[in-house]
Amino acid sequence: MAAILRHSVCRFGEIVTPATAVLRKYATKAEKKKGIDRKPTPTINSTAKSLAAKGFLRPQKDYTPPKDVDASLNEIFKTVLGENVEISSISQKTDVLKACYSKFQHCVPNSLLRTVQTLDDIREFYRTPVDTSTPYDKLKNMELPENLHIQNDYVRFHPETDTKYNGQTAYNGRSTIVTGLKYKDKYAGHIQKPNWQFNR
């Protein structure tokens, strides 16, 4: 292997580097005879898949900082740390964050614990509001242009309630059947009879 890498040229004139020499994606004839097959292993990216599946629905609650957040934090710092103006140990950091959670019912997530090092970092975290609503939910409260309308709850056709056109649907022969358990009580289903049954 060292000789091949030193000369950088293999038998067929292919330039060999450490990456191509060790991580070949194919098997040689000798390896195939021995039953060795170098198939590329599947790439597992579970974190990206889980984030893509969750979208904006994070396991985090809404948080609006109270008006007296600075006074409350100063009181917590004085109670836990005394006259100290800095966090000098992990136990002090834990005690301060525990007291902050008891006061505000809002904790620092694990992904941000390493970024919270000083009292100013804690102050900045508890001053920042958290909004977990999706962009679609925000459109409900936005002032939209006159030619744009967002329909929050979709409308299902039912001949007994939609009497604008005497219960006549635009999609003859198509039923509106509600199969989901969540929406069975909210939307009434309807089985559309074929036209030849209405004449009887």
pTM of the model: 0.50
Q: Do 131 and 99 belong together in one domain?
A: yes
Q: Do 142 and 159 belong together in one domain?
A: no
Q: Do 68 and 146 belong together in one domain?
A: yes
Q: What is the pLDDT of residues 48-95, one digit of tens each?
A: 666 666 655 566 788 899 999 999 999 999 999 888 778 888 999 999
**What's residue 57's pLDDT?**
53
Question: Domains in the chain: how many in total?
Answer: 3
Q: In the structure, what pLDDT confidence band is assigned to residue 1 with cuts at 50, 70 and 90?
A: very low
Residue 48 counted as domain residue? no
Q: Do 148 and 131 belong together in one domain?
A: yes
Q: Which amino acid appears at position 33 of this protein?
A: K
Residue 135 counted as domain residue? yes
Distance CA 195, CA 171 (A): 12
CB 28 within 8 A of CB 21: no
User: End-to-end CA distance of the chain, in Å?
Assistant: 87
**In which domain, by residue range, is 182 found?**
153-193
Distance CA 57, CA 132 (A): 7
Q: Do 68 and 23 belong together in one domain?
A: no
Q: Which amino acid appears at position 176 of this protein?
A: T
Residue 44 counted as domain residue? no
Residue 121 counted as domain residue? yes
More confident residue, 81 or 188: 81
Distance CA 100, CA 73 (A): 7
Q: Do 125 and 77 belong together in one domain?
A: yes
Q: What is the CATH number of the domain that holds 77?
A: 1.10.1200.10
In the numeric block, the tokens 């199969």 are attached to 179
Distance CA 128, CA 3 (A): 60
Residue 20 counted as domain residue? yes
Residue 199 counted as domain residue? no
Which DSSP state fits 111? Answer: G
* Residue 178 structure tokens: 């509600």
Q: Do 141 and 68 belong together in one domain?
A: yes
Q: Do 129 and 98 belong together in one domain?
A: yes
Q: Is the pLDDT of residue 189 over 70?
A: yes
**What's residue 86's pLDDT?**
85
Residue 28 counted as domain residue? yes
**What's residue 104's pLDDT?**
93
Residue 62 counted as domain residue? yes
Q: Do 162 and 148 belong together in one domain?
A: no
**What's residue 11's pLDDT?**
44
Q: Do 135 and 188 belong together in one domain?
A: no
